[in-house]
């Protein structure tokens, strides 16, 4: 499903649309299978030659299996063992900007203005597609209207635009419709998660097993993993996840790909177990919070406990929590929480800083600003590292002919990958500045510092010259760096604890989120406004997934029923609460200026948080997303 069949270029879009409608395609109708469990049955129609259990390579192999400790003895230690199944649905990334690409050829050189989350990857892919050396391809993307993980590299639409441009000898702009975008790219993999959890009387987890299927659609573009157990201390663990092929829309990366669906399953079930064991959910989550990764590997920094404590304090958990369903009348108050986060790791980054003769600086980075404020963040890091005021920094980004390599703005990698390169490039150019200024100030270079645009002697700060004077005759100084930091035998992670209060109208099924507190350990916050906005945006996407979004495929025809904003029900401002963001700020030793990651963590906890609040309000556990009015009315009234 979603394969490109034909592309037409024309002098205007209406002609192109009418021309497309004139193409006759004859399809041979084959049997289809939509449900991943059905797809695994022996007599199911085969989607590909290798069968419906997706067998990829390396990270994409199947089934995905992982284990530690001793599951059997873990369950033996338990006072009670619980088993249940949680289900999540396919939701689309639904970024505002549909797929769009503009391509033109000029004397054998191809330029693509792409809507991509990574100009370097896009260039590599396009060059490969056309058999061109990298030097003959330029990809430009300075800003774009969001992707949330489904614009990581060059895509079919870049190829189509470039091919049509080549054939027509004209620049070509290619744009997907919203329906093309929903069907022709990918969304989040749906899942069916079966858990078995052993706990002691006080709620302490002794063992967890997870058997799951994830629906990847027709192609395996990404892992299909489920990682929501990452935020808990689980001494004995085993998981087996089967990524399955079906005749549905492809599933791949969408903001924290393996997390919100599995956090929903696991944190909902823990909340349920807390209820059945008579343990307050706050104590349940606190008791079982992650202290070591996979119960043995130390974290580079971990302030999940402080997130829980401060978040609970802010929302007033101890005063507001009550027995589930305790409110009288049809409108019921509820409060809930869940834990989340996302891996933080440093890696390959590159940056160049040019210092002009007037003391201003020009930073060059390959990052595209996908809506996260990355451009400003890079400038802030450069200003801090260089010692030049922010308003003296100019930044050029996202152009493979001009800017250095970037890994791609996905996986919350922008700041931890490119940030250290910006710092290193600043250090490189500072050395050159100090070499010049040393003669003018009649000291050795290593006696100098640069702050606020002034070079001064560390031992005697009043002995100083403006940067502009230090570099006036240098023409231009260029600092550059390619960095590739890593750490061993440690795990990096940003953590979050989310809390929500809701009012559920059990007669109409309407849920109003009356308060939302998101406490995050993302290390040092570098760009505060942008970071807060990331948290709010992630929560809103989680609310959509929790309450309304779901891509439906018609059972009989296998045609998508609601591939659009109207019917797949992306939330609006009216569903969106004011999100109170608490940053629990402690520098991480491995992050640039102590920063970890911000972009992906907020969506991970949001879905389970509101689901748990709905349980506290209604006393009913919703084990299948989205939690729509019909499900609430059915559970409470019918």
Binding site for another protein (CB under 8 A): 14, 17-18, 21, 330, 507-510, 547-548, 552, 554-557, 559-562, 566-567, 569, 571-575, 628-630, 633-634, 637-638
φ, ψ dihedrals at 166, nearest 5°: -65, -45
Least distance from another protein to the Cβ atom of residue 513, Å: 12
Give the C-alpha separation, 37 to 213, whole Å. 8
C-beta of residue 247 within 8 angstroms of C-beta of residue 34: yes
In the bound state with another protein, the residue whose beta carbon lies nearer, of 73 and 572, is 572
φ, ψ dihedrals at 350, nearest 5°: -145, 150
In the bound state with another protein, the residue whose beta carbon lies nearer, of 330 and 461, is 330
Residue 307's CB is within 10 A of a number of other CB atoms, namely: 27
Least distance from another protein to the Cβ atom of residue 569, Å: 5
Least distance from another protein to the Cβ atom of residue 330, Å: 8
In the bound state with another protein, the residue whose beta carbon lies nearer, of 401 and 567, is 567
Q: Which residues pair with 187 in a beta bridge?
A: 92, 251
Give the C-alpha separation, 92 to 175, whole Å. 18
Give the C-alpha separation, 431 to 270, whole Å. 54
Give the C-alpha separation, 234 to 196, whole Å. 12
In the bound state with another protein, the residue whose beta carbon lies nearer, of 501 and 588, is 501
**Helix extents (H) in 218-336:** 260-277, 281-288, 304-315, 317-320
In the bound state with another protein, the residue whose beta carbon lies nearer, of 276 and 554, is 554
CA gyration radius for the chain?
26
In the bound state with another protein, the residue whose beta carbon lies nearer, of 6 and 21, is 21
Q: What sign does the dihedral 534-540-543-549 (CA atoms) show?
A: negative
In the bound state with another protein, the residue whose beta carbon lies nearer, of 16 and 55, is 16
Q: 136: exposed, middle or buried (C-beta count within 10 Å: 0-12, 13-18, 19+)?
A: middle
Strands (E), 344-492: 348-355, 361-365, 393-397, 448-451, 454-457, 460-466, 477-484
In the bound state with another protein, the residue whose beta carbon lies nearer, of 100 and 370, is 100
| Pairing status of strand 109-114 against strand 137-140 | parallel
Give the C-alpha separation, 125 to 123, whole Å. 5
Question: 528-547 and 601-618 are packed helices; what angle lies between their axes, rounded to 10 degrees?
Answer: 50
Give the C-alpha separation, 215 to 241, whole Å. 11
In the bound state with another protein, the residue whose beta carbon lies nearer, of 89 and 354, is 89
Least distance from another protein to the Cβ atom of residue 620, Å: 14
Give the C-alpha separation, 348 to 562, whole Å. 40
| Pairing status of strand 109-114 against strand 100-106 | antiparallel
C-beta of residue 629 within 8 angstroms of C-beta of residue 548: no
Q: Of 462, 479, 464, which Cα lies nearest the Cα of 426? A: 479
Q: 10: Cβ–Cβ under 8 A, 6 or more apart, which residues?
A: 16, 19
Give the C-alpha separation, 403 to 511, whole Å. 47
Give the C-alpha separation, 224 to 12, whole Å. 40
Q: Which stretch of DSSP H or E encloses residue 495?
A: strand 493-505
Tokens 């706990």 belong to residue:
199
In the bound state with another protein, the residue whose beta carbon lies nearer, of 5 and 459, is 5
Q: Which residues pair with 75 in a beta bridge?
A: none
Report residue 603 as tokens: 């969506």
In the bound state with another protein, the residue whose beta carbon lies nearer, of 126 and 551, is 551
């Amino acid at each position: 499903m979603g394969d490109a069949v034909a592309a037409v270029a024309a002098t205007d879009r209406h002609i192109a649309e009418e021309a497309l409608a004139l193409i006759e395609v004859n399809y041979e109708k084959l049997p289809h299978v939509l449900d991943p469990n059905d797809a695994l049955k022996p007599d199911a129609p085969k989607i590909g030659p290798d069968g419906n259990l997706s067998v990829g390579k390396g990270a994409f192999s199947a089934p995905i299996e992982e284990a530690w400790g001793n599951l059997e003895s873990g369950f033996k230690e338990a006072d009670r063992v619980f088993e249940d199944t949680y289900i999540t649905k396919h939701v689309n990334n639904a970024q505002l900007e549909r797929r769009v690409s503009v391509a033109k050829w000029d004397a054998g050189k191809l330029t693509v203005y792409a809507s991509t989350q990574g100009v370097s990857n896009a260039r590599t892919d396009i060059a490969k597609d056309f058999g061109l050396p990298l030097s003959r391809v330029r990809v430009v993307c300075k800003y774009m209207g969001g992707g949330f993980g489904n614009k990581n590299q060059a895509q079919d639409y870049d190829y189509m635009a470039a091919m049509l441009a080549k054939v027509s000898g004209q620049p070509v702009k290619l744009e997907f419709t919203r329906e093309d975008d929903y069907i022709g790219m990918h969304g989040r993999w749906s899942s069916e998660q079966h858990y078995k959890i052993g706990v002691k009387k006080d709620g302490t987890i002794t063992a967890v097993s997870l058997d799951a299927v994830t629906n990847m659609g027709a192609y395996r573009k990404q892992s299909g993993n489920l990682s929501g157990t990452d935020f808990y201390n689980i001494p004995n663990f085993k998981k087996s996840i089967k990524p399955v092929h079906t005749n549905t829309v492809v599933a791949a990366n969408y903001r924290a790909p393996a997390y919100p669906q599995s956090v929903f399953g696991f944190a909902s079930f823990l909340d349920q177990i807390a209820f059945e064991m008579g343990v307050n959910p706050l104590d349940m989550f606190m008791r079982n919070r992650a202290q070591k990764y996979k119960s043995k590997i130390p974290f580079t920094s971990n302030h999940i406990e402080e997130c829980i404590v401060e978040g609970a304090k802010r929302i007033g958990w101890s005063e507001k929590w009550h027995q589930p369903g305790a409110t009288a009348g049809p409108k019921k108050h509820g409060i809930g929480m869940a834990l989340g986060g996302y891996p933080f790791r440093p890696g390959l980054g590159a940056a160049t800083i040019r210092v002009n003769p007037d003391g201003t600086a020009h930073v060059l980075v390959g990052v595209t600003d996908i809506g996260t404020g990355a451009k400003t963040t890079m400038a802030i890091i450069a200003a801090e590292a260089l010692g030049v005021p922010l308003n003296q920094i100019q930044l050029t980004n996202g152009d493979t002919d001009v800017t250095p390599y970037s890994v791609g703005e996905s996986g919350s990698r922008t700041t931890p990958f490119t940030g250290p390169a910006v710092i290193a490039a600043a250090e490189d150019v500072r050395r050159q500045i100090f070499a010049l200024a040393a003669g003018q100030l009649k000291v050795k270079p290593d006696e100098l510092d640069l702050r606020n645009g002034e070079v001064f002697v560390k031992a005697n700060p009043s002995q100083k010259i403006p940067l502009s004077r230090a570099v006036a005759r240098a023409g231009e100084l260029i600092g550059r760096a390619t960095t590739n930091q890593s750490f061993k035998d440690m795990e990096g992670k940003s953590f979050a604890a989310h809390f929500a209060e809701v009012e559920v109208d059990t007669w109409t099924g309407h849920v109003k989120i009356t308060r939302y507190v998101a406490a995050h350990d993302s290390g040092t916050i570098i760009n505060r406004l942008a970071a807060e906005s990331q948290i709010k945006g992630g929560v809103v996407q989680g609310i959509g997934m929790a309450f309304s979004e779901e891509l439906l495929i018609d059972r009989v025809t296998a045609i998508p029923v609601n591939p659009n904003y109207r019917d797949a029900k992306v939330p609006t401002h009216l569903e969106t609460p004011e999100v109170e963001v608490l940053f629990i700020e402690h520098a991480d030793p491995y992050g640039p200026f102590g920063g970890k990651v911000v972009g992906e963590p907020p969506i991970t906890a949001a879905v389970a948080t509101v689901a748990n609040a709905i349980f506290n309000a209604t006393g009913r556990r919703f084990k299948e997303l989205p939690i729509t009015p019909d499900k609430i009315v059915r559970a409470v009234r019918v």
